[in-house]
Structure 1
Amino acid sequence: MIGLVRYGKEIGGFQFEENLPKPEVGDEDILIEVRAAGICGADLKHYGVENGATENKRIAGHEFSGVIVETGKDVVDWHIGDRVVSENTGYVCGKCHACSIGNFLVCPEKRSLGLSPGMDGGFTKYVKIPGEVLRVYKNALFRIPDNVSFEEAACLDPMSNAYMALAQRSQLLPGENVVIFGAGTLGLFSVQIAKSMGAANIILVASSRNKAVRFKVAEKLGVTHFITYDEEDVVERVRDIAGVHGIPVIVDCAGSPQALKQSLEIIRTNGQIIRVGMSFEPLEFSINDLSMNANSLIGHMAYNTTSLKNSLYMLERGMIDAKSLITHRLPLTSWKEGFEKMLSREAIKVILTYDGD
């Protein structure tokens, strides 16, 4: 097999390799032939960075879908030919508080396919789903509805992430305003969930670099107002748009300190800031306004079974649009082109398909 591999625990370490072995399937394991794998922002941060690592190898690609081509002799719930999408979990402890309440993706010992060392993902031909995780977390794999394509299903990760952030964690009411920071896949799925929840004004804040492609798609998906933070005063513009109604909910898919600072200035009292994006930069401003205005800052990570099931059902019913976000389809051997298109903001979501032997 060919595949896009990453080495090391630090940022970087991408290499394209040949002659990778086909995974061996144990008695409880499932083997998937990958039909679509998406490039994620989490992958993008490693692109072009040399970390010098030669250990802690894994095949990258944690957003993938495909067909089951082999099952272990003890597998009863899944069959060869099933069209499936993985939510990328390869291991959880099954014992911690998060696992005990079904919130497996924040298990302290969680290991992710395509992300964690030793856990191979979808930027190749075959992916093994370990039977060990399916014993503990049976919904780490889902069947794809007949009318949903492999490409659309490969977008389940950011789709479900946005669903949980807004539909499950926020208290947004129909007729209220919402601000979304970030025009990537997470931000644009958040736009759609906000629209489905009846948001009055959906205000998207992002760089002017997104105007050519992403803003046009975002408008189609439901954005009512755009603010370019590198050209406009974000706080002033939001206040002009929201007026006396204010902003009760902010979804921060960017994660920068600047986005948090602006969020604290524009959120109304008793509002919620849901932080999906991440940054390692230190904060150089006070967050006392959280207390003074009785606001909530909610750290958000990933999704759960409810998010996954409902997102797939919305996709099946045509209630959410993944096709508009898939702007480029490329063979795996053209992976660098896909990463470059995402870096330049020419692409929103790039889907890679296997083109090896």
Structure 2
Amino acid sequence: MGIRPGESVAILGPGARGILMTQICKAMGAGPVIITGVSRDEKFRLKTALELGADYAINVEKEDLQSKIDEITDGKGLDVVLENTGAVEPILQSIDIVRKGGRICWAGGGIVEGVVAPVDTYKIIVKELDIKGEISQVPYDWLAAIKLVASGKINLKPLVTHEFELEQWNDAFELAATSPEVLRVAIKP
């Protein structure tokens, strides 16, 4: 998304990907970096995001997202919004909280056949927004990722929250699918 130092960024969704995005944005000099989640994310995921560099963690079930973004940005809106929840409401919120001429990336739900959202094209047109979708990467991304991890600016260890033996694969998948205290589960062969 061409994030530059000093740009404000919101990451909608505090899963492993969202927390990784938080670290990458901070490593690129972006700020403030805001991550959002819901009440089930507050105890572990939002807390982890703050520990790994987020400037703000917003529980959208307890705080009005638009009001909070207006407060943080003095009413200007965000430069960039990275949506990766795969839910309709955050997709719609991304259009509202980004500034005029801002950039949005919709990435949530791409692997599971997408999400159908009733998008208000008037807002997109009037705000002259740049909206992109994302699901994959190019070879350069891998090289950049390796360099960021090697530099120590990105910490991957907290993202693997659980490990299981191969024989326990069913328990691993069940935990990954149901627990708010899981980011990534590793299965050891």
After TM superposition, the score normalised by the length of structure 1 is 0.49
- 2:106 aligned with 1:272: no
How many residue pairs match? The answer is 185
CA distance in 2, matches of 1:234, 1:287: 21
Amino acid at match of 2:140: T
| Aligned residue runs from structure 1 range 299-314, under 5 A | 299-314=133-148
What is aligned with 1:295? 129
> Contact between 2:36 and 2:46, CA under 8 Å: does it hold in 1?
no
What is aligned with 1:60? none
- 2:23 aligned with 1:209: no
CA deviation digits over 1:117-137, x for unaligned, max 9? xxxxxxxxxxxxxxxxxxxxx
Shift of 1:252: 0.6
Amino acid at match of 2:49: A
Match of 1:324 among 158, 164, 177: 158
What is aligned with 1:344? 179
> Contact between 2:9 and 2:80, CA under 8 Å: does it hold in 1?
yes
Match of 2:26 among 195, 204, 220: 195
Summarize the Cα distance change of 1:326–1:316 in structure 2 as closer, same or farther, 3 Å threshold: same
What is aligned with 1:335? 169
CA distance in 2, matches of 1:212, 1:347: 12
> Contact between 2:5 and 2:28, CA under 8 Å: does it hold in 1?
yes
CA distance in 2, matches of 1:329, 1:285: 40
> Contact between 1:183 and 1:210, CA under 8 Å: does it hold in 2?
yes
Summarize the Cα distance change of 1:172–1:314 in structure 2 as closer, same or farther, 3 Å threshold: closer
CA distance in 2, matches of 1:328, 1:171: 33
Question: Sequence identity of aligned pairs in percent?
Answer: 27
> Contact between 2:37 and 2:46, CA under 8 Å: does it hold in 1?
no
CA deviation digits over 1:183-206, x for unaligned, max 9? 111101100111011112111111
CA deviation digits over 1:277-298, x for unaligned, max 9? 1264432342321111111111
What is aligned with 1:219? 50
CA distance in 1, matches of 2:124, 2:156: 35
Amino acid at match of 2:121: I
Shift of 1:174: 1.2
Structure 1 gaps of 5+ residues are: 1-169
What is aligned with 1:184? 15
- 2:8 aligned with 1:173: no
SS class of match (2:121): coil
CA distance in 2, matches of 1:172, 1:291: 22
- 2:90 aligned with 1:259: yes
Shift of 1:230: 2.1
Summarize the Cα distance change of 1:317–1:284 in structure 2 as closer, same or farther, 3 Å threshold: closer
Instruction: Return the structure number with greater helix share.
Output: 2
Amino acid at match of 1:267: V
Q: Which entry has the higher C-alpha Rg, 1 or 2?
A: 1
Amino acid at match of 1:321: N
CA distance in 2, matches of 1:322, 1:243: 33
| Aligned residue runs from structure 1 range 1-357, under 5 A | 170-278=1-109, 280-342=114-176, 343-354=178-189
CA distance in 2, matches of 1:333, 1:196: 38
Structure 2 gaps of 5+ residues are: none
SS class of match (2:186): strand
After TM superposition, the score normalised by the length of structure 2 is 0.91
